[in-house]
Amino acid sequence: MQGFQKQESDLLNCLEFNLGSGLVLGPVCLAPCLATLRQSRCASWRKRVLQRPTSWSALEFWPNSLPWTWKLVTARNLSRNRQLKSSFVNDWIQLGKLRIQALSTPAAILCCWLADGMRLKWSTATHLAIGLTLMSFASAVLNQVVEVELDKKMKRTANRPLPAGRVSVSTAQWVGWFTGIAGAAWLWLALNPLTAWLGIVMLGLYVFVYTPLKGVTELNTVVGAVPGALPLLVGWAAAGNGLDIFAGILFAILFLWQLPHFIAIAWIYREDYARAGMKMLPSADETGAFSARQGAYWALTLLVASLLPTVLGFANRTYFYAALTLGIGFLASVLHFGLKRTDARARVLLWASLIYLPLLLLALWLS
């Protein structure tokens, strides 16, 4: 105790010496600290400040900045707080699958632009982005709430926020319902009832139909492709002109694109899906030959569907040749996987699908 008092006395003398040196900033910066040190008689507080440098770095002087300014910092605690905040944000980004929405929401806005005669009101686009993001966020969160026990059995999903326990199921459920209701109300009040209704159908099919079917039939991917393509119809309806055949073509393109895309994912993680008891097509197809044939059929149908905008007069020839080139390339990647069903070739197909869709939408926009 006497040693500590001596250290405290030396520190106070040092501070008083600098206060008396005539520096203008000295009293402003050091007086509160000096008063606190003089008045504090709590041994545990003093011990925490001076005897735990790993948590508290005590009084630090910065000679290269303002003269004799001091700072009581908790470097390790601040670092931990930043990590917790970062983890919290990342968990909810993962729960809401916001990276997927980075593609679906711009695609919906593109459809809104097309539906309104290639004119776009920024207020409409903003309301669409907010409402659709809320609805998609709710769908993703509630989907993971339903599948939390299955996700625990899969290596790919075991570290997600819900199975890992970083976010409670009850919290996710409340957030999911709140954002879903808020998104539907936003689309209804800010845009129109058709847009809100399509958003509700999207959420209902994804959470209450597609998700339970994963444990029932291998056709769940076909069913899940319907809500996966509905954001385009939500975007089209946001313009306020209803739905037409062009909207149906865009819906068909996105619907068909998802099937080879998810066949590739299901093949790569087929053991994980089988472990969780999910009936994905590759899980029931040990050789992968049937899955590859299905992927080829869907990719060929997609190629034909992608040409319809030009055939029916909605797009020019530039789009036609771009769609034809992209479609042939995508079909080639599916056939490449079919010739030799390996994880490496499935990943090539997966990346090809991720490149194909944005480029096709870009070509449609430029046309």
Per residue in 293-320, pLDDT tens?
A: 999 999 999 999 999 999 998 889 999 9
Per residue in 134-151, pLDDT tens?
A: 999 999 999 999 988 888
Q: Do the domain assignments include residue 158?
A: yes
User: CB 72: neighbour CB atoms within 10 A?
Assistant: 12
Q: Which of 78, 110, 139 is the last residue of a domain?
A: 78
Domain count, the chain: 3
Domain boundaries, position 21: 2-78
Do 51 and 166 belong to one domain? no
Q: Do the domain assignments include residue 312?
A: yes
Per residue in 9-58, pLDDT tens?
A: 444 444 333 334 433 334 334 334 444 444 444 444 444 444 444 433 33
Q: Which of 78, 106, 123 is the last residue of a domain?
A: 78
Q: Do the domain assignments include residue 227?
A: no
Give the residue among 86, 97, 85 at the shortest CA–CA distance from 144: 97
Give, in order, the Cα–Cα distances in Å from 198 to each of 91, 113, 194, 202, 286.
Answer: 28, 18, 6, 6, 37
Dist. CA 307–CA 322, nearest whole Å: 9
Do 264 and 365 belong to one domain? yes
Q: Which of 78, 113, 135 is the last residue of a domain?
A: 78
Compare 73 and 120 and report the one with higher pLDDT.
120
Q: Do the domain assignments include residue 317?
A: yes
Do 106 and 22 belong to one domain? no
At residue 282 the predicted structure's pLDDT band, cuts being 50, 70 and 90, is confident
Q: Do the domain assignments include residue 86?
A: no
